[in-house]
Structure 1
Amino acid sequence: MEDLLIGWLKEYGYIVLFFWSILEGEMGLIMAGIFSHMGDMSLPIAIAVGGFGGFIGDQIYFYIGRFNKRYIHNKLRSQRRKFAIAHLLLKRYGWPIIFIQRYMYGMRTVIPMAIGLTQYSSRQFAIINFISAIFWAAITIIPAYYYGAQILEMLKWGKEHWYIAIPIILIIINLIVINLNRLEKNLLEKRRERQTV
């Protein structure tokens, strides 16, 4: 099965990368960097394809917010807290939040939708989103390209010693979730303070 997947990636790599990047594809970008390192993909083309996919993905989320406000309010009630945080971040930091939202775990799809719900310029969003997407692709693919051999060795080690790798991954995920919860609490507390003043 693994050989079949690798064969597909080698044959249809750019197409897979494009669609993977639309759907939050850091793993796809890392794979593209490794494939570029092995000579199965071109580094500049991989960056362009990955960046364009990321751009298209966030444009889709933005326009879902812009043209489906009622749907979002009705169907995504469980995400209200994240939408509130996204609005606070946009008000507080402005356009840089569009640039960095790709690196915010759990918020990447919410922030473009939340911005789409506002009166924010679609043209300005598209420009910042495009630049951000190219940077995102480059800073993820290039290290994987340069350290491709080491990453492959780590993957091989992880495959052989999976029982050690799983607890490490769980600890990292736990730390990320704890930090996100702290950030969320701080933002909500600051919002309450402003409302009471």
Structure 2
Amino acid sequence: MEEILLRLILDYGYYILFIWSIMEGELGLVMAGILSYTGDMNIFYAILVAGLGGFTGDQIFFYIGRFNRNYVQKKFSRHRRKFALASLLLNKYGWYIIFIQRYLYGLRTIIPITIGTTKLCWKKFAIINLISAFIWASITIVLAYWFGDYLLLILHYIKKHWYVAFPTAIIIFYSVIRYIKKAAEKRSFRK
């Protein structure tokens, strides 16, 4: 199974990276950086493909917000808080939020949709989004490339000692979620 997965990545790596970058991307970009480090991908092509994928994804979300405002408000009604937060961030930071949103977990798709519901010019969004996507792809892939040796050691350890790594990952994930919930409760309590 591992050989089949590796062959798919080596044969279709750039296509997978493009699609992954449209949806979310960070893990895919880290893997592209590691594959660039091992020589299985070209780092410049990986940055180009990931940047175009990130740009395409945010453009899709922007146009969903632009042309389907009523549908978005109905369909995402349970995410009202995220939309409210995205609107606050947009009002506070203006177009800079287009750069920042790529690093905000849980808001990466919401912010472009929210921006699409505003009167921001589509050309301005596209230009800023394109620059932002390539900066995001460059930073993430180059960092994974530079630390490729260490990341490979971690992956090898996880593969060899999965019985330790899996529960540790669950504990870390649970701790992070709990910390975020407590911070949110404190923030809402202060208001």
TM-score normalised to structure 2 length: 0.90
How big is the shift at 1:36?
0.9
Number of the residue aligned with 2:145 = 145
The change in CA–CA distance for 1:48 and 1:116 in structure 2 (over 3 A counts) is same
Residue 2 (structure 1) aligns with: 2
1:26 shift after superposition: 1.0
Residue by residue over 1:128-155, the C-alpha shift from the partner in whole angstroms, topping out at 9 and shown as x without a partner, is 1111111111111112112222211111
What do the CA deviations read for 1:77-132 (whole angstroms, capped 9, x no partner)? 11111001100110011111110101111110000001101111211111111111
Q: Who is 1:195 aligned against?
A: none
Does 2:68 match 1:68? Answer: yes
1:182 aligns to 2:188 (yes or no): no
Gaps of 5+ in 1: 193-197
**Gaps spanning 5+ residues in structure 2: where?**
none
* 8 Å Cα contact 1:85-1:184 kept in structure 2: no
Give the aligned length: 190
Distance 2:189 2:123 in 1: 33
RMSD: 2.1
SS in 1 for 2:41: coil
Q: Report the equivalent of 1:33.
A: 33
Task: Give the distance between the partners of 1:137 and 1:184, measured in 2 at CA.
Answer: 34
The amino acid of 1:152's aligned partner reads: L
Identity of aligned residues (%): 53
What amino acid is aligned across from residue 109 of structure 1 in structure 2? T
- CA distance in 1 between partners of 2:65 and 2:175 (Å): 30
Conserved? CA contact 1:37–1:145, under 8 Å: yes
What is the deviation of 1:167?
4.0
1:2-29 CA-to-partner distances (Å, cap 9, x unmatched) read: 2111111111111111111101011111
TM-score by length of 1: 0.88
